[in-house]
Structure 1
Amino acid sequence: MQRNKSRFSHLIIIIFVFFAGDAFAQKESYIQSLSKQNRWVDSVYNKMSRKQRVAQLLFVRAHTNKGQAYADSVGQVIKDQQLGGVVFFQGGPVRQANLINKYQKLAKVPLIITMDGEWGLGMRLDSTISYPYQMTLGAIQDNNLIYKMGQQVAYDFKRLGMQMNLGPDMDVNNNPNNPVINYRSFGDNMYNVAKKGIAYFKGMQDAGLLTSAKHFPGHGDTNVDSHFDLPLLPYGRGRLDSLEMYPFREAINAGISGVMIAHMNIPSLDKTPKLPSTLSRPIITGVLKDSLKFKGLVLSDAMEMKGVTKYFPNGEADVKAFIAGNDIIELSENSDRAINLIRKAVRHGSVSAAEFEERIKKILAAKYWAGLNQYKPTPLANLSQDINSDAAKALVQQLSDAAVTQLKNTTKLNPFLKTAVVSIGVTSPTPFQMEAVRYFPNSRIFIVNKDAPAIELSNILAWLKQYPQIIVGIHDTRLRPQSKLDYNSDVKLMIADLASRKNTAFSVFANAYAIAGLPGLEKAGNLMVCYQMTPELQKSAAKALSGGLKPAGKLPVTINTFFTTGMGL
């Protein structure tokens, strides 16, 4: 009797494990779903007119910081044109969730709601968490942390009622003066960029969010911002295949759901003069879809950018983008005009009927995969608390701790010595100083403005001679940390003076490339690069200086001959 009971219990466990395993199995990826017939997709497609099908290609711009009249005008466009989706920009999270609910009510087929969230909601929205920039993430050695970040970003997006993130950026930033990619890239090593990008998008996709690697075939080696003009990528096919396209190829093999096309002129791939890659069928259909076998969503970069409208005005760019092979045409200057022009192109057979059907069904399949076939409005209760959780904040700190990169460490600090704690480039005490004072109690704070006059700097340097050890933070307070600091020449000379002293430890809370513009800093006995000026990274640096954290980051870019990719003690 006892033996039979035991066998019965064992059978129950096996059955439970079998069904539980099935229930918790990760759902198939969007790419996998495309190989199967989908009744919902077929049913929706069959009920649509050609105009309604074409409208699914168009995604319109939306904001929640431009007032009610603007929000209402976008709503009217959605109601009248029945577009495929909405791309949100600046605003606030609760306002945005509320507006998403209103816009979805106006759509007969639910909209895909998306946003640029390379470092999470904070890239566009106030009162939300910003995760570290991708260059900061490029220093981290544990890619599982980046996967976790992807999962958290997906939760945040979905909690607001969004289904897609226009990220990660998978450009290889091999031009330090790149004005548009730069710190948005994981770095200049294509293998690191690929691994980090895959970890990030897999985290998002495994949590049910559509993603988009950008900017194909690679925007990292340009010195022109495609928002303002058309960059030229002059390299041959061999170089592009082996370098720029490598992360995208790896992402495609790993199952990325979407790829965004850059606005760049690339003669080695398409000889048409002044033609942006966004409008090139040889690049989008020939290279991306046919050669690289990408089956997912192809998105244009914003069609209102000068890199595309300068040479193809009056809606011509929209039609060319469609014919080239884009499935989603982002931010047309005039979506109504675009719909009519694309309808005409379809009628004239510019794209085959079979290809047109496949591309519209691909968009509908993305909506189905994201759960829009059973759309429910976003609940607004506790929204702010949910997207600003303690767990998410702890993850930001964990990522920051893991990114700190020690480049030099011959100057050892003593917590009991009299210490000067200097922050340069700011006008008030910094989190770095507040934390450092906790670890070095016998200390005094000094503030150095980025435009401080020579006489003031001379006085501060005289004061600092009294201190047996000096801790210096170099800060970039600008919203976008560029490759060169905007300090005056006297402040830069002061940094060189301090670096020549053997009792000084530097932490750089700025773009890593900025170190190249501070001659003499390579002489510092203690130098950490922390990539950006967030409170979390400033805390991480102070902790590292006190010995409470062992920096494990590795430099994701080459700064100069002294500090090259992969360096880190």
Structure 2
Amino acid sequence: MSCLIYCISSIKQRLFKKTLFNGVIPITFQNRDLIQNIGQLMVFGFYGKKMTPELKQFINKNKLGNIILFSRNMDDQLQIRQLTMELQGEAKRAGHKHPLLICTDQENGAVRRLGSGSTEFPGSMLIGATYSTANAFEISRMTAEELKSVGINWNLAPVVDVNNNPANPVICTRSFGEDPQVVAEMGEAFMRGMQSEGIVSTLKHFPGHGDTGVDSHLDLPVIPHNLERLESVELVPFRKCIKAGTDVIMSAHVYFPAIEKQYGLPATLSKAVLTGLLRERLHFQGVITTDCLEMKAIDDRFGTAQGAVMAFQAGADFAMVSHTFEKQKETLEAVTSALENGKIDTQSVRNSMERIDRLKDKYLDWGQALKKEVISVEKGEEHWTTAEKVYHEGITLLTNKQDLLPLSDRKNSKTLFLYSGMVFAAKVEDQKDQISVFESIVKSVHTESEVAKIEDPSFNVLLKNVISTTESYQAVVLLTVSITKGSSQIDLLTQLKKTCNCPIIVIAAKSPYDLRLLPQADGYICTYDFNPLSLKIAIRTLFGLDKVYGRLPISLNNT
């Protein structure tokens, strides 16, 4: 008899795993309600501009409750709204209690996902350079309007990492700056701007990603500081925003040995971090989401599916798997199996579902989810006007030796602009080609200026003419976009300073830390954001046609 019971039990277990994706759940399974709704704990992405069959399957059979969108999913406002309505309509027909949470990374600046027709709002460090929480609130509020109008109800922003490492390859201008108090105030204002328009905001990346020299998309960063240091720097913005009522916090794939004793265990998978520090010490009662578990800091060491299991064991509420269907399927299977065999505590999962329910009750309703709406032309114009105003307040003129600026805009006063086509962008950043429009922007401001790409074969001839003074310029302007040691632009500037009779001006079109590598520049202006509007304002400022008022929100110790 005992053998028969064992055989029946084994058959049920195999049947359960086999039929999970066909929507058949054994009714005798004691936690069937959790399994039937396991998708409420997942945040999945997909490829394409329309709902895929796989995603439809997840929404119907596994009650997938949360979707992440990337640039690959979004063209213009109408297409995005049609997509989000298609997704919400499917969830409604599938019997979901709440609409889907649909999120994206619309941090602005370097990381933005909305397609054509959206406003290129200033990013965090430029807003930090204005030192105005009113700007942080208003830019966030307007961003929320644009998100809401296309059916996106959850923004994975603001970044409240304190960027105090000049070599940080992944945060940099995504941060409001290096002062913990300024970052905290700006982060809270941004959070409130989102909330004022009914958009869920997300603080990231807990407990801090600002003092790393490694991109967690590619490897596992380590922050070696003790807890006292973390309390005085990294945790300051999180504490302030938690007290102000933040809704969601995203974990960092970063190892903190002062908190987590298991070597190499990232914060995302650490119970000491997510439960001990975030829940118990900082008293956060909202929703904890992981960053994408397909990032190499997790996937290469633990695997995406096992990473999800470990994240739930650590105290996460959402597991994010942004890209690959097979890994999403494996994650559902692994989490289901872990629930079934007791490796994930069922009460902890119920607590997670209750927190998610509260979040959805607060922000979501079917009327808004299925409402056909795109932003009006009038609002769009207002948004661009505000963005331009804030760019003027944030772009920073750092160096102006011997008052060489403004340059003459007379027709007989030639200026040479140089740029490199080799532009670095972190994996998370907007990959849109901005450099190709640089020449047209320069010419739109000053028709007599010349523009040269340093990789072009003809550049060497031009350089010889500049050095030999065959060609005479009032200034040479070098455009940089987050250069690193060994960059050819560093050697070029050094050569020009030694041989050229005219002043050298640098436009740092992204990272202000470029000046650390180019201290010889006679003039230096930083835009923080690399886009046509910020570039045009910077170039107009060089010729005295505009004024900028920003103050550096980070320090450059060698300047």
User: TM-score, with normalisation over the residues of structure 2?
Assistant: 0.81
Q: Which runs of 4+ in 1 moved over 6 A?
A: none
| 2:513 corresponds to | 513
SS of the aligned residue for 1:195 comes to helix
Answer yes or no: is 1:49 the counterpart of 2:33.
yes
Q: Which residue of 1 aligns with 2:105?
A: 116
What's the counterpart of residue 103 of structure 1? 87
Give the 3-state SS of the residue equivalent to 1:56 in structure 2.
helix
The aligned residue for residue 366 of structure 1 is 359
> Alignment partner of 2:414: what SS?
strand
Match of 1:246 in 2: 236
1:433/1:56 CA distance change after superposition, 3 Å: same
Within 5 Å, which residues of 2 pair with 1:298-317?
298-313=288-303, 315-317=305-307
Q: Which residue of the partner structure matches residue 142 of structure 2?
A: 152
Match of 1:533 among 526, 530, 534: 530
Match of 1:204 among 177, 194, 197: 194
Shift of 1:74: 2.1
Cα pair 2:111 2:174 within 8 Å, conserved: no
1:329 deviates by 0.9
CA contact (8 A) 2:249 2:287 kept: yes
Counterpart mapping for 1:86-97 below 5 A: 86-90=67-71, 91-93=74-76, 94-97=78-81
Distance 1:139 1:355 in 2: 42
The alignment status of 1:553 with 2:556, answered yes or no, reads no
Deviations 1:197-230 (A, max 9, x none): 2221211111111011111011111222211222
Give the equivalent residue in structure 2 for 1:232.
222
The secondary structure found in structure 1 opposite 2:57 is helix
- How far 1:300 moved relative to its partner? 0.3
Change (3 A) 1:384 1:206: closer
Q: Is 1:269 matched with 2:266? A: no
Q: Deviations over 1:516-554 (max 9, x none)?
A: 222411xx1x43222233222233224434545443211
User: Which whole-Å CA distance do the structure 1 matches of 2:547 and 2:518 have between them?
Assistant: 25
Give the deviation of 1:328 after TM superposition: 1.1
- The equivalent of 2:287 in structure 1 is 297
- Among candidates 358, 370, 387, match of residue 377 of structure 1: 370
> 1:314 & 1:413 partners in 2: Cα distance?
54
Question: What residue identity is the alignment partner of 1:496?
Answer: K
Q: Is the 8 A contact 2:406 2:541 kept in 1?
A: no
Larger CA deviation: 159-168 vs 452-461: 452-461
Distance 2:331 2:33 in 1: 16
Is contact 2:157–2:201 with CA below 8 Å preserved after alignment?
Answer: yes
For residues 208 and 409 of structure 2, what CA distance do their matches in structure 1 show?
Answer: 50
CA distance in 1, matches of 2:320, 2:466: 52
| Rounded Cα–Cα distance in structure 2 between residues aligned with 1:250 and 1:430 | 44
What's 2:11 paired with?
A: none
**In 2, distance between residues paired with 1:306 and 1:161?**
30
Q: Choose 403-412 or 416-425, whichever is displaced more.
A: 416-425
Amino acid at match of 2:508: V
> In 1, distance between residues paired with 2:499 and 2:210?
34
Corresponding residue for 1:138? 128
Aligned identity (percent) is 27
Q: Does 1:444 align with 2:448?
A: yes
CA distance in 1: counterparts of 2:149 and 2:300, whole angstroms:
38
- 1:25 alignment counterpart: none
Q: Secondary structure at the match of 2:448?
A: strand
Cα deviation code 1:124-176 (max 9, x no counterpart):
24313322232222211222112111011111111111110011111112222
Asked if the contact 2:39/2:58 (under 8 Å) is kept, the reply is no
Does the 8 A contact of 1:396 with 1:536 survive in 2?
no
Partner Cα separation in structure 2 for residue 300 and residue 171 of structure 1: 16
The alpha-carbon distance between structure 1 residues 122 and 340, as it changes in their structure 2 partners (threshold 3 A), is: closer
Judge conservation of contact 1:88–1:115 (CA < 8 Å) in 2.
yes
* 1:118 aligned partner, one-letter code: E
Q: Describe how 1:157-172 pairs up with structure 2 within 5 A.
A: 157-172=147-162
Q: Structure 1 residues 175, 489: CA separation in 2 closer, same or farther (over 3 Å shift)? A: closer
Q: Which amino acid aligns with 1:389?
A: G
2:107 alignment partner AA: E
Query: What's the TM-score, normalizing by structure 1?
Result: 0.79
1:422-446 Cα offsets, whole Å, 9 max, x none, are: 2210677635523542xxxxx7211
2:426 alignment partner in structure 1: none
Give the Cα separation in 2 of the matches to 1:505 and 1:246: 37
SS of the residue 2:292 aligns to: coil
Aligned to 1:544: 541
Contact 1:194 1:246 in 2 (8 A): yes
Q: Secondary structure at the match of 1:293?
A: coil
Q: 2:65 aligns with which of 77, 84, 100?
A: 84
Matched, 1:420 2:414: yes
- Matched residue, 1:493: 494
| SS of residue in 2 equivalent to 1:177 | coil
Q: Which residue of 1 aligns with 2:391?
A: 400
In structure 1, C-alpha distance between the alignment counterparts of 2:133 and 2:463, rounded to whole Å: 42
Aligned to 2:443: 434
- Displacement after TM superposition at 1:326 (Å): 0.8
Counterpart residue identity of residue 357, structure 2: L
Residue 339 of structure 1, CA deviation:
3.5
> How many residues end up aligned between the 2 structures?
497
How far apart, CA to CA, are the structure 2 residues paired with 1:166 and 1:49? 29
1:214 aligned counterpart, secondary structure: strand
Change (3 A) 1:148 1:212: same
C-alpha root-mean-square deviation of aligned residues, in Å? 3.0
One-letter code aligned to 1:527: Y
Preserved CA contact (<8 Å) 1:175 1:220? yes
Task: Give the partner amino acid of 1:508.
Answer: A
Secondary structure of 1:326's aligned partner: coil
1:193 alignment partner in structure 2: 183
Quote how far apart the aligned CAs of 1:340 are: 4.2
Deviations along 1:35-73, one digit per CA (max 9) or x if unpaired, are xxxxxxxxxxxx9922133321111113435xx6x7333
In the aligned structure 2, how far is the partner of 1:196 from the partner of 1:461? Answer: 46
Structure 1 residue runs without a partner (length 5+): 1-46, 438-442, 563-569
